[in-house]
Structure 1
Amino acid sequence: MNLGPGEIILILIAVLLIFGPKKLPELGKSLGQGIREFKKGTKEMRDDLEASFKDEPEAPKEAPKSI
């Protein structure tokens, strides 16, 4: 889905008409917070996965030798 400059301008005009100039800073702030939380969550999940792979597996225990 490629958006050209014309489509982006049209979307921005529609957003301006729907929300008005007074609500745009508030809308931008909440959008930024949402993106920040999403990035934080994905980073935490990635760090947890990397940590679980770095943990050394336990050495296999030898079976008792029977004669």
Structure 2
Amino acid sequence: MMAVQSVLGIDIGGTNVRFAQVDRGLRILRSRKEKVEEVQDLTSFLLTTIQEFMDQAEVPIGAVA
């Protein structure tokens, strides 16, 4: 096995480190994606709530009283 590794130039230890770094990077990206999705959900909820408030308001928003 060592001969094959030396012929192909494979560094098993370094490969494991690179895979670990890629795996860590993917976990960070997934975490950030989940946070972005949470913010998008909250933003959508707030916009819907504001729209419902505007629809129910007796005086149109921006009207001069």
TM-score scaled by length of structure 2: 0.59
Indicate the structure whose relative CO is greater, using CA pairs within 8 Å and at least 6 residues apart: 1
Is 1:44 the counterpart of 2:35? The answer is yes
How many residues in Structure 1 have an aligned counterpart in Structure 2?
48
TM-score scaled by length of structure 1: 0.58
Q: Which amino acid aligns with 1:57?
A: I
Q: Which runs of 4+ in 1 moved over 2 A?
A: 58-61
Give the share of equivalent positions with the same residue, in percent: 8
2:20 and 2:38 mapped to 1: Cα distance?
27
Higher helix share: 2
Q: Rg bigger for which structure?
A: 2
Residue of structure 2 aligned with 1:57, choices 38, 50, 58: 50
- 3-state DSSP class of the match of 2:19? helix
Q: Which deviations, in whole Å up to 9, do the C-alpha atoms of 1:16-67 show, x marking residues without a partner?
A: x455112111111100010001111111111100111112116235154xxx
Alignment RMSD (CA, Å): 2.0
Change in Cα spacing, 1:43 to 1:18, as seen in structure 2 (3 Å) is: farther
Aligned match of 1:27: 18
